[in-house]
Amino acid sequence: MSVFTVLNPATEEPVTTVTQPCAEETDSAIAGAAAALPGWRAVAPGDRARMLRAFAAAVDSAQEELAGLEVAGSGHPVGAARWEAGQVRDVLLYYSAAPERLSGRQIPVAGGLNVTFHEPVGVVGLIVPWNFPMPILSWGMAPALAAGCTVVAKPAEATPLTAMRIAALAREAGLPPGVFTVLPGKGSVVGQRLVDHPAVRKIVFTGSTEVGRSIMADCARQVKRLTLELGGKSANIVFADCDLERAAATAPYAVFDNAGQDCCARSRILVQRSVLEAFMALLEPAVRSVVVGDPASAATEMGPLISAAHRSHVASFVPEGAPVAFRGHAPSGPGFWYPPTVLAPVRPDDPAYTEEVFGPVVTVTPFSDEAEAISLANDTPYGLSGSIWTSDVGRAIRVARAVETGNLSVNSHSSVRYWTPFGGFKQSGLGRELGPDAPDAFTEAKNVFISTEGS
């Protein structure tokens, strides 16, 4: 057992301390989840649905409290934090409809029929990063519970507070002990134990590609089911025929949302050369007017970075002499602040252009035609998200089909909707979360033949 101090990223002051379990305590929690499994999977579908709705109602009642914890413990602007708590409620409500819809199939065969059942995969280990502690928790937790699995979740070490409160709300709402457990702790201890423990039958991991790769290798040893949601280096492609004002006005929010600590951040803006100058002239005031400051203020649009170490990492992408085109504001004094920063022109091998920064730094690169735009957008090992700005419907569809990413928006910077599938191509991940089919990914299809022949 060890003790971790949660810091307020906006003030650098301690918020609270959290006791972290050791590997043996992690084993006990996994044993508790395994013991709860037979009872939870046997709950009648309608009753499981009602329990998930009661859980959603408890989250709804605690929305302000959860938002306050995220403001203090993660530095999220309060408007965003309220939305994130609401997202947990909404995801639970959406998947509360799933237990009654987990239908199998009836397949005609000679001499009888085959029926398929969706059996819960078992205990699920859910490993969550620090950038969106509430939504990402809910994206794994809700469909897994709906499918009849029990869940042991590990929030990121730095941001455990909302997940711990959500676990308490689950109990208050009537979920039986062991059905949903949160273990704050280190990835190398609690997370690794979830990956290694044979009673955990599926891992849902969101985090860096590097850690995801090693978890995938570890899961392979037990042929353990796995979903990976990893990094991104997404392109925001701006064609000359688009509504340039809108494209420029929303571009900062496509990358600086959550201070750029967003796997879907469109951190490479690609602009058709003929409108590059006009776009930059519109982008500059949009970037300078992003409201960066006290996360507790309702007017704030961008808060601090998560930690001093992460700020140093982000700053390393903007060394002395970097091609800074313009910057927004950031408070001085305590807090892990970093200003919205636009780099242009950048070399194709500049790490700010090729690597995931996970901070408020964006590059702008010109292209000449559609083919070059597609080629630049795809010239990355990642493939998570992206945007296309054009008034030509045919081009929008052509380019969307050609860009190798899992989630694209046309004339919009939106990314994740819980009722549509979410996940990456290439090194951005494996499998899909969310959408109507997500509970199926927490089940195994069982195929049973029933003879209709007389004895």
- Closest distance to ligand NDP from the beta carbon of 202 (Å): 14
* Binding span for ligand NDP by CB under 6 A among 154-162, 247-255, 288-296, 312-320: 154-162
Contacts of 433 (CB under 8 A, 6+ apart): 139, 140, 143, 204, 227, 229, 421, 422, 423, 441
> Where in the sequence numbering do the catalytic residues fall?
229, 263
* Binding span for ligand NDP by CB under 6 A among 14-22, 230-238, 275-283, 330-338: 230-238
DSSP string of 406-442, one letter each residue: S--EES------TTS-B--SGGGEES-BSSTTGGGGG
Q: Does 206 bind ligand NDP (CB under 6 A)?
A: yes
Sign of the dihedral through C-alpha 7, 11, 14, 18? negative
Burial grade of 436 (CB within 10 A; 0-12, 13-18, 19 or more): middle
Residue 147 CA to residue 164 CA, distance in Å, equals 22
Give the chain's radius of gyration (CA, Å).
23
Q: Which is nearer to ligand NDP, 272 or 385 (CB)?
A: 385
- Closest distance to ligand NDP from the beta carbon of 11 (Å): 21
- Closest distance to ligand NDP from the beta carbon of 27 (Å): 15
Q: Does 131 bind ligand NDP (CB under 6 A)?
A: yes
- Contact between 287 and 250 under an 8 Å Cβ cutoff? The reply is no
Amino acid sitting at position 39: G
Q: Does 207 bind ligand NDP (CB under 6 A)?
A: yes
Q: With CA atoms as reference, report the closest residue to 87 among 75, 76, 102.
A: 76
Q: Does 304 bind ligand NDP (CB under 6 A)?
A: no
* Binding span for ligand NDP by CB under 6 A among 115-123, 125-133, 311-319, 346-354: 125-133
Using the rule CB under 6 A, which residue among 188, 289, 414, 447 binds ligand NDP? 188
- Closest distance to ligand NDP from the beta carbon of 351 (Å): 14
- Closest distance to ligand NDP from the beta carbon of 336 (Å): 14
Q: Which residues of 330-354 are buried (b: 16+ CB within 10 A; e: fewer)?
A: beeeebbbbbbbbbbebeeebebbb
- Give the three-class secondary structure for 24: helix
Q: Does 267 bind ligand NDP (CB under 6 A)?
A: no
Q: Which is nearer to ligand NDP, 239 or 256 (CB)?
A: 256
Q: Does 18 bind ligand NDP (CB under 6 A)?
A: no
Using the rule CB under 6 A, which residue among 157, 257, 294, 301 binds ligand NDP? 157
Q: Does 230 bind ligand NDP (CB under 6 A)?
A: yes
Q: Which two tokens stand for residue 250?
A: 């929303």
Helices 161-172 and 45-61, interaxial angle, to 10°?
Answer: 130
Q: Does 195 bind ligand NDP (CB under 6 A)?
A: yes
- Closest distance to ligand NDP from the beta carbon of 427 (Å): 10
- Closest distance to ligand NDP from the beta carbon of 129 (Å): 3
- Closest distance to ligand NDP from the beta carbon of 235 (Å): 15
The terminus-to-terminus CA distance of the chain in angstroms comes to 62
Using the rule CB under 6 A, which residue among 166, 305, 384, 408 binds ligand NDP? 384
Using the rule CB under 6 A, which residue among 127, 173, 226, 399 binds ligand NDP? 127
Size of the site for ligand NDP (CB under 6 A): 31
Q: Does 133 bind ligand NDP (CB under 6 A)?
A: no
Q: Does 236 bind ligand NDP (CB under 6 A)?
A: no
Sheet with 106-109, strands from edge to edge, namely 106-109, 112-120, 443-451
Q: Per-residue string for binding with ligand NDP, 345-374, x by CB under 6 A?
A: -----------x-x----------------
Q: Which is nearer to ligand NDP, 18 or 156 (CB)?
A: 156
Using the rule CB under 6 A, which residue among 152, 263, 283, 403 binds ligand NDP? 263
Longest Cα–Cα distance of the chain, Å, equals: 86
Q: Which is nearer to ligand NDP, 73 or 207 (CB)?
A: 207
Instruction: For residue 441, give Cα distances in angstroms to 112, 163, 429, 434, 437.
Output: 28, 22, 15, 10, 7
Q: With CA atoms as reference, report the closest residue to 142 among 103, 177, 175.
A: 175
Residue 439 CA to residue 418 CA, distance in Å, equals 12
Q: Per-residue string for binding with ligand NDP, 311-350, x by CB under 6 A?
A: ----------------------------------------
User: How many CB atoms are closer than 10 A to CB 316?
Assistant: 12
Q: Which two tokens stand for residue 308?
A: 């001093």
Write out the residues near ligand NDP by the rule CB under 6 A. Answer: 127-132, 136, 154, 156-157, 186-188, 191-192, 195, 206-208, 211, 215, 229-232, 263, 356, 358, 384, 424, 429
